[in-house]
């Protein structure tokens, strides 16, 4: 087996996913991505200076070590998480998205992936929190559109909760 660099793996995963060859993407990822990688607190990778600035302003975390973009673990694990979501492997997808989010907490791809898992698990508190968080980090039109796309679930769940409260209190009002 040929050892591939992280950028090569990311590029291959992107190509296979765009072509909707999820079976191939899954097999490729299993061979090339270690889902049991340990994250060390304070190690981050950012795609650009804007992401790093967003991190420093909103999270204010200490950056102990910044990986060069060539070691973009965040994108690597986000892509893998999306493939795992396609196959309904939610536990591994959650693990992958959490790793991606650890390496870059402002990576919207990982945030949206986590939102999808929390929505499927009816974990509305986490879903709501991450949806609101996504607005803080959306700096492209596509990212803002995706953030807005997640809002209807929040609105529907809020209406449902209000209706349930009203129904439960009905005879007493």
Under 8 Å between Cβ of 17 and 25? yes
Q: Are 28 and 10 in contact (CB under 8 A)?
A: no
Distance CA(173)–CA(165), nearest Å, equals: 11
Q: What is the pLDDT of residues 137-151, one digit of tens each?
A: 888 888 888 888 877
β strands within the chain, DSSP E: 43-44, 65-66
Contacts of 16 (CB under 8 A, 6+ apart): 22, 24, 25, 28
* Total Cβ atoms within 10 A of residue 42: 11
The confidence band for 43, taking pLDDT boundaries of 50, 70 and 90, is confident
Enter the pTM of the model.
0.78
Rounded Cα distance, 106 and 86, in Å: 23
State pLDDT tens for residues 75-124: 999 999 999 999 999 999 999 999 999 999 999 999 999 999 999 998 98
Q: Does the pLDDT at position 173 exceed 50?
A: no
Which superfamily, per CATH, for 6-172? Tetratricopeptide repeat domain (1.25.40.10)
Neighbours of 158 (CB within 10 A): 12
Strands 43-44 and 65-66 turn out to be parallel
What is 94-131 written as a DSSP string?
HHHHHHHHHH-TT-HHHHHHHHHHHHHTT-HHHHHHHH
Domain definitions of the chain by residue range = 6-172
Q: Please state, in angstroms and rounded to a whole number, the distance separating the CA atoms of residues 52 and 136.
A: 13
């Amino acid at each position: 087996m040929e050892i591939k660099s992280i950028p090569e793996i990311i590029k291959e995963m992107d190509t296979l996913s765009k072509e909707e060859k999820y079976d191939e993407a899954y097999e490729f990822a299993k061979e090339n991505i270690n889902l049991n990688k340990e994250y060390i607190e304070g190690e981050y990778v950012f795609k650009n200076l804007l992401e790093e600035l967003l991190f420093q302003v909103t999270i204010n975390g200490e950056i102990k070590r910044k990986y060069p973009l060539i070691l973009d673990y965040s994108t690597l694990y986000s892509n893998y998480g999306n493939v795992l979501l396609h196959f309904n492997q939610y536990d591994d997808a959650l693990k992958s998205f959490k790793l991606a989010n650890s390496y870059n907490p402002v990576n919207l791809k990982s945030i949206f992936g986590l939102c999808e898992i929390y929505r499927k698990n009816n974990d509305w508190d986490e879903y709501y929190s991450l949806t609101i968080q996504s607005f803080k980090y959306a700096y492209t039109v596509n990212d803002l559109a995706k953030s807005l796309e997640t809002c209807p679930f929040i609105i529907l769940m809020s209406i449902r909760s209000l209706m349930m409260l009203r129904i439960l209190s009905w005879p007493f009002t």
